[in-house]
């Protein structure tokens, strides 16, 4: 087998297939499926993934592989196959899928260059481009990026006169530490010791040490052992010992002690729920379970004991938790039960740390991985279970290519591994609950909290009433009183600000003018610290105008309730309260999230104030009050899931209060108390919410009654965006059945971002065997115009409709 099929790193339609290469003799044993290689591609050298080996190729004159990047496969057989499926189901490019399955650190580092195509002289380019290639046929991409010439270069590239080259840059540096190690056996060292004069006492000490201990010692630890570093060089010169840089893992949890826990004896309800899972594990039977139970009902204990069973059988487990709930507390529970058998992967780790955790899996040193979305690609080969906690979380959907949902990937992987998937939630996604009701998933229910603690009492406050009553503050009278009460009792409060909406914008109080981004059709967000206004979509920054550009009034100021503003307000009304604020600004530095939470846990503050990042994982005994300042900001987003998200979030937040002995209270402030998602979250009644929301979904033909696919089109010129979308809509309509609803062309809810106009075509369907081909055709068709600035993308399971 001296021919390798390689997926090359050129993410484009034309190159989205395997290319054949000859394997040079010297690499014959090394090159195998799942290895990355450097190959010649046209005049350039690029990276690729070997996906298969064969004896013959239909092409003659094959080029040779230049060299392997890896010496062992980075993608195992299962993952290679899974990648193929993922590419097909998300309409991604193969290369992008495979790269997405690897930790970021392994993704290629490239230097991107533009080069004259072979045989092309610079005189053949438009005049204004010629000087760029005066001294060289190549040009670093960075130099032209965002310049006025970029478009022109694209055009020439499309015409085949220029090429884009990717030059592979350095690979990741593994963390290395200097060690000292003996080069001789204890007997030999004993003989050598006699030759070392007594005045060289430090050398004698070091040799004596190695006679007793043959293990390498870290250079900087010599001192701790009472040894001298000055002895190393002379002994190394004599060949007795050596200094060596050795690879070590960067263990992010290195200095933490994990208290070991043992399995709890399960309650009757837990036993009933775990039985079918264990059964599925024992019989290597693929099933999907929906473990439905409120926070604190004992779901995690079920995960832990199921995993124990899987480990006992010599198999492995993947546990997904949403990024924001990958708190130390969560990690502790898994490390506490399974110790060093657990690898942890989340975005708080540096690329190097993530890579190290990944390699523990690859080297089969761990049995369990706990991680965010991409941990679903952990390179295990003998999976026994996959668990997705908080399965309703939308962060399980990746919003860039490959646009996958981790739940779908888990199920596909589990089918191939004959093992169960457990989806856990107190507020399952509507799609999941509907599937459980239909028997597609098996429903397991934990009906009550451990120790039968009561759910907290929830009070819903109508903020319109507050206004009518003359209260213009962002705190209702009820919430204020309860806050005061907690301060007196020395109990803790969590204040939650749902900041997904368009808060903190700058508005003129006289005429209502709102400062918008000049490049996007959206208001700018005010940032207190820098006194700047920023666009969250294109990165534009500007100063707040001193006067209203519209009417000249000086009463122009920021509006809305950012966390900073709430903190300020708290300082005014409850000056004695100690407040910890958690938002993107205070938690951007590594470890700060954890530190703030620890401070709060240790009672260093009375109030924890934050955005949705505080909604999860908090489980402190002294929290007896949870306040939601603005429950409805998310309700008004143009998204058919907005009611569901609001319900889930409010239920989740409410679950933070009174999880221990002290009873808890929840205050939800809203301008729309009559909305069912708010009313029912107050009653913590998922089932009623489910029924109500299902009706709405049915009427409007949304999931779970219909599947969705969305095509997004954008271009600098409005007319171009509209006309292309129109053509696409017509084409889609002509190819699909009459039961399918094709909406469009419509402008996206944010109609312009970064000076590009955005249009959409939304497809709602029940059964549509033609759909994939149709979508592929569209992508193929318009890929040709990509260089001319047209972007067409497809999401086969959209979660963001903006
Ligand atoms: P969930 O994952 O549903 O939020 P947990 O598994 O965290 O619930 O359980 C809530 C609390 O109850 C935890 O403190 C946990 O240690 C405890 N717990 C869970 N199962 C048992 C059990 N069988 N016996 C005693 N305590 C339990
Ligand atoms: Zn004005
Ligand atoms: Zn913008």
Taking CA atoms only, the protein residue closest to ligand 1 atom 9 is 298
Taking CA atoms only, the protein residue closest to ligand 1 atom 14 is 296
Q: What is the pLDDT of residue 148?
A: 67
Q: How far is the CA of 287 from the centre of ligand 2 (A)?
A: 61
Q: Which helix (H) or strand (E) holds 392?
A: none
**Residue spans of alpha helices (H) in 556-641:** 563-573, 592-601
Two structure tokens written together for 33: 């499926």
As a whole number of angstroms, the distance between CA 385 and CA 312 comes to 12
Taking CA atoms only, the protein residue closest to ligand 1 atom 20 is 298
Atom of ligand 1 minimally distant from the CA of 449: 10
Determine if ligand 1 sits within 6 Å of the CB of residue 301.
yes
As a whole number of angstroms, the distance between CA 763 and CA 741 comes to 6
Q: How far is the CA of 266 from the centre of ligand 1 (A)?
A: 9
Q: What are the backbone angles phi and psi of residue 710, rounded to the nearest 5°?
A: -130, 135
As a whole number of angstroms, the distance between CA 331 and CA 343 comes to 10
Q: Which-ligand-closest: CA of 519?
A: 3
Atom of ligand 1 minimally distant from the CA of 450: 12
Q: How far is the CA of 664 from the centre of ligand 3 (A)?
A: 42
As a whole number of angstroms, the distance between CA 723 and CA 678 comes to 41
Contact (CB, 8 A) for 724 and 498 = no
As a whole number of angstroms, the distance between CA 428 and CA 340 comes to 31
Angle (deg, nearest 10), helices 771-783 and 718-735:
150
Taking CA atoms only, the protein residue closest to ligand 1 atom 25 is 264
As a whole number of angstroms, the distance between CA 693 and CA 699 comes to 10
As a whole number of angstroms, the distance between CA 713 and CA 321 comes to 33
Angle (deg, nearest 10), helices 201-212 and 186-195:
160
Contact (CB, 8 A) for 760 and 725 = yes
Q: Which-ligand-closest: CA of 269?
A: 1
Edge-first strand order for the sheet with 525-527 is: 525-527, 532-534, 541-543
Q: Which of 715, 698, 709, 708 is nearest to 756 (CA)?
A: 715
Q: Which of 445, 480, 458, 452 is nearest to 651 (CA)?
A: 458
As a whole number of angstroms, the distance between CA 478 and CA 486 comes to 12
Q: How far is the CA of 262 from the centre of ligand 1 (A)?
A: 13
Q: Are strands 217-218 and 368-371 parallel, antiparallel or unpaired?
A: unpaired
Q: How far is the CA of 504 from the centre of ligand 2 (A)?
A: 17
Neighbours of 552 (CB within 10 A): 11
Q: Is 442 helix (H, G, I), strand (E, B) or coil?
A: strand
DSSP state of 695: H
Two structure tokens written together for 684: 């913590």
As a whole number of angstroms, the distance between CA 80 and CA 76 comes to 6
Q: Which helix (H) or strand (E) holds 441?
A: none
Taking only Cα atoms into account, the Rg of the chain, rounded to an integer number of angstroms, comes to 30
Contacts of 434 (CB under 8 A, 6+ apart): 694, 704
Contact (CB, 8 A) for 491 and 456 = no
As a whole number of angstroms, the distance between CA 572 and CA 11 comes to 55
Q: How far is the CA of 327 from the centre of ligand 1 (A)?
A: 17
Taking CA atoms only, the protein residue closest to ligand 1 atom 19 is 298
Q: What is the pLDDT of residue 40?
A: 93
Atom of ligand 1 minimally distant from the CA of 295: 4
As a whole number of angstroms, the distance between CA 790 and CA 714 comes to 6
User: Measured in Å, how far apart are the chain's first and last C-alpha atoms?
Assistant: 49
Tell the residue number behind the tokens 């059945």, with chain if given: 737
Q: How far is the CA of 473 from the centre of ligand 2 (A)?
A: 24
Q: Which-ligand-closest: CA of 539?
A: 3
Mutate to test the pocket of ligand 1, among 264, 270, 301 (most ligand atoms within 8 A of CB): 301
Number of helical H runs and strand E runs in the chain: 22, 33
Determine if ligand 1 sits within 6 Å of the CB of residue 450.
yes
As a whole number of angstroms, the distance between CA 240 and CA 312 comes to 45
Q: Which-ligand-closest: CA of 555?
A: 2
Tell the residue number behind the tokens 């004159």, with chain if given: 61
Q: Which of 786, 789, 761 is nearest to 775 (CA)?
A: 761
Q: Are strands 532-534 and 541-543 parallel, antiparallel or unpaired?
A: antiparallel
As a whole number of angstroms, the distance between CA 365 and CA 363 comes to 5
Mutate to test the pocket of ligand 1, among 298, 388, 452, 656 (most ligand atoms within 8 A of CB): 298
CA 370 to chain centre: 13
DSSP state of 345: E
DSSP state of 514: B
Q: Which-ligand-closest: CA of 516?
A: 3
Contacts of 736 (CB under 8 A, 6+ apart): 742, 763, 765, 768, 770, 771, 774
**Residue spans of alpha helices (H) in 469-591:** 477-489, 563-573
Q: How far is the CA of 54 from the centre of ligand 3 (A)?
A: 50
Q: Which residues of the chain have pLDDT under 50?
A: 170-171, 500-502
Determine if ligand 1 sits within 6 Å of the CB of residue 293.
yes
Mutate to test the pocket of ligand 1, among 273, 293, 296, 303 (most ligand atoms within 8 A of CB): 296
Q: Which helix (H) or strand (E) holds 220?
A: none
Neighbours of 89 (CB within 10 A): 18
As a whole number of angstroms, the distance between CA 509 and CA 112 comes to 49
Q: Which helix (H) or strand (E) holds 42?
A: none
Q: What is the pLDDT of residue 178?
A: 83
Determine if ligand 1 sits within 6 Å of the CB of residue 390.
no
Determine if ligand 1 sits within 6 Å of the CB of residue 295.
yes
623 beta partners: 492
* 3-class SS string, 152-167: HHHHHHHCCCEEEEEE
Determine if ligand 1 sits within 6 Å of the CB of residue 266.
yes
Q: How far is the CA of 633 from the centre of ligand 3 (A)?
A: 21
Contacts of 41 (CB under 8 A, 6+ apart): 8, 10, 19, 48
DSSP state of 516: B
Q: How far is the CA of 68 from the centre of ligand 1 (A)?
A: 49
Q: Is 75 helix (H, G, I), strand (E, B) or coil?
A: coil
As a whole number of angstroms, the distance between CA 435 and CA 569 comes to 46
Determine if ligand 1 sits within 6 Å of the CB of residue 300.
yes
Q: What is the pLDDT of residue 595?
A: 83
As a whole number of angstroms, the distance between CA 126 and CA 259 comes to 69
Taking CA atoms only, the protein residue closest to ligand 1 atom 10 is 296
Q: How far is the CA of 83 from the centre of ligand 3 (A)?
A: 35
Contact (CB, 8 A) for 519 and 752 = yes
Taking CA atoms only, the protein residue closest to ligand 1 atom 23 is 266
Q: Which helix (H) or strand (E) holds 359?
A: helix 351-362
Q: How far is the CA of 303 from the centre of ligand 1 (A)?
A: 11
Q: How far is the CA of 337 from the centre of ligand 1 (A)?
A: 13
Contact (CB, 8 A) for 33 and 73 = yes
Contact (CB, 8 A) for 291 and 447 = no
Determine if ligand 1 sits within 6 Å of the CB of residue 267.
yes
Q: Which-ligand-closest: CA of 512?
A: 2
Tell the residue number behind the tokens 């050129």, with chain if given: 10
Two structure tokens written together for 65: 């592989």
Q: How far is the CA of 742 from the centre of ligand 3 (A)?
A: 29
As a whole number of angstroms, the distance between CA 575 and CA 598 comes to 23
Determine if ligand 1 sits within 6 Å of the CB of residue 298.
yes
Give the start-end residues of each E strand in 222-363.
Answer: 241-247, 288-293, 316-320, 342-345
Tell the residue number behind the tokens 């003989």, with chain if given: 191
Contact (CB, 8 A) for 163 and 43 = yes
Determine if ligand 1 sits within 6 Å of the CB of residue 297.
yes
142 beta partners: none
Contact (CB, 8 A) for 107 and 99 = yes
Q: Which of 284, 283, 303, 285 is nearest to 293 (CA)?
A: 303
Tell the residue number behind the tokens 């929906």, with chain if given: 290
Determine if ligand 1 sits within 6 Å of the CB of residue 264.
yes
Q: How far is the CA of 253 from the centre of ligand 3 (A)?
A: 39
Q: CA distances (Å), 132 to each of 143, 155, 159, 524, in order?
A: 10, 15, 18, 37
As a whole number of angstroms, the distance between CA 363 and CA 380 comes to 9
Q: Are strands 288-293 and 442-446 parallel, antiparallel or unpaired?
A: parallel
Two structure tokens written together for 510: 């006289």
């Amino acid at each position: 087998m001296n021919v390798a099929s390689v997926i090359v790193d050129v993410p484009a339609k034309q190159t989205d297939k395997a290319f054949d290469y000859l394997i040079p003799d010297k690499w014959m044993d090394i090159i195998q499926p799942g290895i990355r290689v450097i190959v010649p591609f046209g005049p350039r050298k690029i990276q690729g993934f070997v996906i298969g080996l064969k004896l013959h190729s239909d092409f003659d004159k094959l080029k040779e592989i230049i060299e392997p990047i890896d010496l062992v496969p980075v993608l195992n057989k299962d993952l290679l196959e899974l990648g193929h499926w993922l590419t097909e189901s998300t309409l991604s490019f193969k290369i992008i899928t495979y790269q997405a399955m690897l930790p970021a650190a392994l993704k290629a580092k490239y230097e991107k260059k533009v080069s004259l195509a072979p045989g092309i002289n610079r005189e053949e380019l438009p005049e204004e481009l010629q000087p760029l290639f005066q001294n060289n046929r190549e040009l670093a991409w960075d130099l032209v990026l965002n310049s006025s010439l970029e478009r022109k270069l694209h055009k020439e590239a499309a015409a085949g006169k220029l090429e884009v080259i990717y030059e592979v840059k350095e690979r990741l540096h593994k963390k290395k530490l200097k060690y000292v190690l003996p080069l001789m056996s204890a007997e030999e060292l004993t003989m050598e010791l006699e030759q070392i004069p007594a005045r060289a006492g430090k050398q004698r000490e070091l040799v004596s040490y190695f006679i007793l201990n043959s293990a390498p010692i870290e250079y900087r630890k010599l001192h701790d052992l009472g040894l001298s570093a000055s002895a190393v060089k002379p002994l190394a010169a004599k060949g007795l010992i050596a200094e060596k840089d050795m690879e070590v893992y960067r263990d992010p949890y290195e200095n933490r002690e994990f208290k070991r826990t043992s399995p709890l004896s399960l309650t009757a309800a837990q036993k009933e729920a775990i039985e079918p899972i264990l059964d599925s594990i024992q019989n290597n039977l693929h099933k999907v379970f929906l473990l439905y139970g409120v926070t604190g009902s004992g779901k995690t204990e079920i995960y832990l004991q199921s995993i124990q069973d899987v480990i006992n059988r010599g198999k492995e487990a993947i546990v997904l938790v949403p990024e924001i709930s990958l708190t130390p507390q969560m990690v502790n529970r898994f490390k506490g039960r399974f110790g060093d058998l657990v690898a942890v992967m989340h975005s708080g780790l540096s690329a190097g740390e993530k890579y190290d955790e990944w390699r523990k899996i690859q080297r089969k040193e761990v049995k369990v991985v706990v991680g965010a979305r991409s941990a679903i690609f952990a390179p295990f080969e003998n999976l026994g279970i996959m668990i997705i906690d908080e399965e309703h979380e939308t962060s399980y959907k990746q919003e860039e290519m490959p646009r996958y949902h981790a739940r779908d990937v888990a199920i596909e992987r589990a089918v191939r591994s004959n093992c169960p998937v457990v989806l856990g939630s107190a507020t399952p996604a509507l799609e999941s609950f509907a599937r459980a009701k239909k028997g597609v998933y098996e429903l397991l229910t934990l009906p009550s909290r451990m120790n039968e603690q009561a759910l907290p009492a929830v009070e819903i406050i109508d903020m319109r009433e507050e206004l009518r009553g003359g209260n213009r503050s962002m705190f209702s009278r009820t919430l204020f009183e309860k806050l005061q009460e907690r301060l007196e009792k020395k109990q803790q409060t969590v204040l939650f600000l749902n900041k997904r909406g368009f808060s903190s914008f700058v508005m003129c109080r006289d005429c209502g003018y709102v400062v918008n981004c000049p490049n996007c059709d959206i208001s700018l967000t005010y940032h207190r610290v820098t006194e700047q206004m920023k666009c969250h979509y294109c990165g534009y920054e500007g100063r707040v105008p001193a006067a209203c550009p519209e009417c000249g009034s000086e009463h122009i100021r920021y509006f809305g309730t950012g966390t900073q503003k709430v903190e300020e307000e708290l300082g005014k009304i409850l000056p004695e309260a100690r407040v910890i604020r958690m938002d993107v600004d205070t938690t951007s530095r590594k470890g700060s999230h954890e530190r703030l939470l620890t401070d709060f846990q240790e009672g260093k503050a009375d109030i924890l104030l934050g955005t949705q990042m505080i909604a999860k994982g908090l489980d402190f005994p002294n929290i007896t009050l949870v306040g939601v300042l603005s429950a409805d900001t998310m309700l008004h987003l143009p998204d058919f899931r907005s009611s569901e998200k609001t319900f889930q979030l409010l239920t989740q937040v409410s679950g933070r209060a009174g999880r221990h002995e002290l009873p808890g209270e929840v205050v939800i402030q809203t301008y729309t108390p009559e909305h069912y998602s708010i009313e029912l979250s107050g009653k913590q009644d998922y089932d009623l919410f489910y029924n109500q929301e299902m009706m709405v979904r049915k009427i409007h033909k949304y999931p779970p009654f219909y599947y969705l696919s969305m095509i997004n089109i954008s271009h600098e010129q409005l007319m171009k965006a509209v006309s292309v979308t129109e053509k696409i809509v017509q084409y889609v309509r002509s190819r699909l059945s009459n039961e399918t609803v094709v909406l469009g062309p419509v402008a996206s809810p944010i109609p312009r971002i970064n000076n590009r106009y955005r249009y959409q075509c939304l497809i709602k369907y029940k059964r549509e065997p033609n759909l994939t081909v149709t979508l592929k055709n569209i992508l193929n068709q318009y890929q040709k115009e990509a260089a001319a600035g047209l972007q067409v993308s497809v999401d086969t399971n959209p979660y963001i409709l903006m």
